[in-house]
Amino acid sequence: MSIALATALASALGFYLLLGMAYGLYFITFGAQSMVPAARGSGLGFRLMTLPGAVLLWPVLLARLIKGYPKPEAPRALRQAHVRIWMFLVPLVALGIMLSLMLRPAPPLNESLPKGLILEERGS
């Protein structure tokens, strides 16, 4: 990755967190309880604990505020998603492991010999 691209990525991340911080301040004062009425009257400790979540999840929270909640999916759908993830993960990681072992650099000759047997450089 070029320095320009990496800089753009880091700036985007910083900007995302900055906006998240602003939203987080609103969230711990008013937002947390307006989204979930059961949070009304919760203590300062709980509000502060929601801050990191609001900083990271602010786009989703905003979308929930604007669009509301979709219908909950059937439990079966989640189980299927769980199975699909493993079906995808196992072959992919297995392939990655195999490649990483096959293409692993060989240790220097001295290190591959039994301890105590050190090769002397010729001509020295």
Partner 1 sequence: MSHGYTAVQWNGFKWRYDLVVLAGLAVFITSFVLLTMGSRDPGQSLTLIQVLMRAFGAAAFLLLNVILAIGPLARLSPRIKPLLYNRRHMGVICFILALVHAGLSLLWYQGFADLNPIVALFASNTRYTSIAGFPFESLGFIALMLLAFLAVSSHDYWQAALGSTLWKRIHLGVYVAYGLLVMHIMLGVVQGEKDLIYPASVIGAFCLIAGLHGASAIIGRLRDRKVRASLDGWINIGAPQSIKENRARIIRTPSGDRIAVFRYDGKVSAVSNVCAHQNGPLGEGRVIDGCITCPWHGWQYRPEDGRSPPPFDEKISTYRVQIDGGMVYVHPDALPPGTPSPPAKISEAKS
Distance (Å, whole) CA 34 – CA 54: 13
Give the number of other Cβ atoms within 10 Å of residue 29's Cβ.
10
- How far apart are the two ends of the chain, measured CA to CA in Å? 43
Distance (Å, whole) CA 21 – CA 51: 8
67 is a contact residue toward partner 1 (CB under 8 A): no
Q: Which position among 18, 22, 62, 81 is part of the footprint of partner 1 (CB under 8 A)? A: 81
CA distances from 66 to 39, 40, 82, 118 (A): 19, 20, 29, 71
| Residue nearer to partner 1 on the CB measure, 22 or 89 | 89
Distance (Å, whole) CA 121 – CA 98: 35
111 is a contact residue toward partner 1 (CB under 8 A): yes
- Nearest approach in angstroms of CB 115 to partner 1 is 9
- 36 in helix, strand or coil? coil
| Residue nearer to partner 1 on the CB measure, 110 or 124 | 110
22 is a contact residue toward partner 1 (CB under 8 A): no
Chain contacts with partner 1 (rule: CB under 8 A): 1-3, 5-7, 9-10, 13, 32, 35-36, 38-39, 41-43, 45-46, 48-50, 52-53, 55-57, 60-61, 64, 69-70, 72-76, 78-79, 81-83, 85-86, 89-90, 92-93, 96-97, 99-101, 103-105, 107, 111-112
